[in-house]
Chains A and B, each alone.
Chain A
Amino acid sequence: MNVAPDDPLEAQIGQWRAYLHRRRAIEGPDVEELETHLRDQVSSLTQAGLADDEAFLVAVKRMGSLDALSREFALEHSDRLWKQLVIVSATDDSTKSNRTEALVVLGLVATVALVVKIPALFGVPLDPNEEVPLFYFRNASLFVFPLLTVYFLWKRGWNAMSRLWLALPFVVGALCVNVYPFETRVMNNAPEPSDTEVLAVLHMPIALWLAVGVAYVRGRWFDEGRRMNFVRFTGELVIYFILIALGGGVVTAFTFMMFGAIGMDPAWFVAGWLLPCGAAGAVIIGSWLVEAKQSVIENMAPVLTRLFTPLFTILLLVFLTTMIWTGRPIDIQRDVLIAFDLLLVLVVGLVLYSASARDPQAPPNLFDSLQLLLIVSALVVDLVALAAIASRISEFGFTPNRVAALGENLILLVNLSGSAWLYAEFLRGRNTFRALEAWQTAYLLAYSIWAALVVLLFPPLFRFA
């Protein structure tokens, strides 16, 4: 049946089809079936004397509300919502077919597993009876992130020139951590890595994650929406990684149990192959899963955020009250400092992820006030920690750890103050939520730059101590 494209009825039906297609629970053939029904209804109504547009309205009304309809379809076809999470649908007309993508991902996973084993060929093996060589920690992100970047470059289709640019941070990072002559102290007869080396190990992934991000957003880092997508991606990836790791733990436990039962010790396999290759592969697999299920089901990270924001607000408030009540100062040790930094990072994460899931148009609600309370209490905690670090520095001088902690606390302080201010403005209706979102995503750059500084400049500055 050929109909002129400018036929208003056809246009209306086309629009209705498009609405239907957007419902994930109603798939292609069902849309077809429903459309045939709609057309039957329209033609029988027009034969009864109605005009085209009247007939269309009546037919659509009789079809029932799309919400109710897709709910019914979802109930009947609940498998569909999950099926789309992973695998191959033939009708998908996206640029890269899912099957090719699955092959590419499998290839990358195999590659990453091999890359992890390369050092063993050059005399740095993973031995279950010895400590894991520091080499693996220094290079942990270098095993995986370049391949993850390759995956996104392939997926987003990027030109060769920018590929070369993106290789730069990885090369520089690899050179730094492996060429710098870090000192090794001997404590209790065991070699102990120097502070700057530990700091470099900790900060390297944060710095290089930005390179992955640039590949993810296809080079348009300053496009706000895309940056936010990368934030969402990161959160989902962490959750997927943890889930896969839990599964890996089960596999490990069974490996030990079963081979133990026949009197063999699989430790060499678990420590040398299963754990390192599995962990590296899980990052790639996790990224693929996150990409594949995008927008199909509600993201997990914002849900967890909702759950934990009240808990952390209470925790921080109780902690502050207790500290004021008892008058105890914070005891500055290295692990305490790191723990406080992590706490503040977590608060920033909570703010970031609830922002990522929030409809920017929605008016302020109770949860927003709770967020502001969380931010303000985190600010106070941050100030307390900063005061403690500052007094420590003025008393005992600069060490790499203290300077790194100082820098991180300052960065977080600026972020939290900015967020608090923008949140307060938003709650009073003087500013939009988008401003807060923009502030948070713009700030991402600061973390990576600071981390890069710690990796690149701290070791020479503190003479590799």
Chain B
Amino acid sequence: MDLGKDLVAASATPLVLAILADGESYGYAIIKRVSELSDGHLQWTDGMLYPVLHRLERHGLVASKWGASDSGRQRKYYRLTRQGRTQLEEDRKRWQIVDATLHRIWLKAYSS
């Protein structure tokens, strides 16, 4: 299902932050994780993730370091910073409000 550009863009930040909250990760793994968790509904254009990661890094929400991958290639690993954790917590509250509101509306719509 196509989620539309705006929704994908809006949800990208909390999704990335939430996945990194489970521990350090890298671009390809993040995309795979998102795809798994959304049952394949959330398909990002792969390259687009990187500007998002770089923006988060610039804002100090994530930090990165280069490390070796299993194949021996250099790979850039990202992890959540303390500031990122706070941001994630705020994001979570915002999305819960949206989610709860929609939930109630739809509950009423279907029950009546």
CB of B28 within 8 A of CB of A36, answer: yes
A1-B72, A39-B71 known; A33 vs B48 contact (CB < 8 Å): no
> Which B residues are in CB contact (< 8 Å) with A68?
45, 47-48
Q: Which residue of A lies closest to B73 (CB)?
A: A36
Q: Say yes or no: A63-B47 contact (C-beta < 8 A), given A32-B74, A39-B71.
A: yes
Which residues of the other chain, B, contact A40 by a CB distance below 8 angstroms?
28, 69
Residue from the list A62, A73, A76, A77 in contact with B46, Cβ < 8 A: A62
Q: Complex: how many Å from CA A40 to CA B26?
A: 11
Is the Cβ of A33 less than 8 Å from the Cβ of B27? yes
Known: A33-B76, A36-B69, A37-B28. A64 touches B51 (CB 8 A): no
Interface residue? A75 (CB, 8 A): yes
Q: Which of B28, B32, B54, B75 contacts A77 (CB 8 A)?
A: B54
Q: Are B72 and A36 in contact (CB under 8 A)?
A: no
A36 CA to B75 CA, complexed, in Å: 7
Residues of chain A at interface, number, CB under 8 A = 24
Question: Within residues 54 to 74 of chain A, which ones have a CB less than 8 A from any CB in chain B?
Answer: 59, 62-64, 68-69, 72-73
Known interface pairs A75-B51, A76-B54; A41-B71 also in contact (CB < 8 Å):
no
Task: Report A31-50 CB contacts with B as 1/0, cut-off 8 Å.
Answer: 01110110111011000000
Name B's interface SS: helix
**Contact between B74 and A64 (Cβ–Cβ < 8 Å)?**
no
Within 8 A of A (CB), among B25-69: 26-28, 32, 45-48, 50-51, 54-55, 58, 69
A43–B28 Cα distance when bound, in Å, is 12
Whole-angstrom CA separation of A64 from B46 in the bound complex: 7
Closest Cβ–Cβ distance, residue A74 to chain B (whole Å): 9
Pairwise interchain contact A64-B45, C-beta atoms closer than 8 A: yes
B95 CB to nearest chain A CB (Å): 23
In B60-112, which residues have CB < 8 Å from any A CB?
Answer: 69, 71-76
Q: How far is the CB of A332 from chain B (nearest CB, A)?
A: 63
Most buried by A among B32, B50, B58: B50
Residues of A within 8 Å of B74, CB to CB, are: 32, 36
Contacts A36-B28, A64-B45 hold; do A72 and B71 have CB atoms under 8 A apart? Answer: no
Complex alpha-carbon distance, A1 and B54, angstroms: 27
Q: A30 within 8 Å of B by Cβ?
A: yes
Residue in chain B with minimal CB distance to A77:
B54
Bound Cα distance from A77 to B76, whole angstroms: 18
Provide the bound-state CA to CA distance between A63 and B43, in Å. 11
The CA of A43 and the CA of B73, in the complex, are separated in Å by 13
The answer to whether A39 touches B73, judged by C-beta atoms less than 8 angstroms apart, is: yes
Q: A30-B50, A37-B28 are in contact. Are A62 and B45 (CB under 8 A)?
A: yes
Chain B residue numbers with a CB within 8 Å of A62 are 45-46
A34 pairs with B54, CB closer than 8 A? no
A64 touches B55 (CB 8 A): no
> Are the C-beta atoms of B69 and A73 separated by less than 8 Å?
no
Residues of A within 8 A of B48 (CB): 64, 68-69, 72
Nearest-Cβ distance from residue A60 to partner chain B, whole angstroms: 10
Give min CB distance, B19 to chain A, whole Å. 15
B26 cross-chain contacts in A, Cβ below 8 A: 36
Across the interface, name the chain B residue whose C-beta is closest to A76.
B51
11 residue pairs of the A-B complex, CB under 8 angstroms, read A1-B72, A30-B50, A33-B27, A34-B50, A36-B26, A36-B28, A36-B73, A37-B47, A39-B71, A73-B51, A73-B54
**Additional 6 contacts, C-beta under 8 A, given A36-B28, A64-B46:** A32-B74, A33-B27, A40-B69, A69-B47, A73-B50, A73-B51
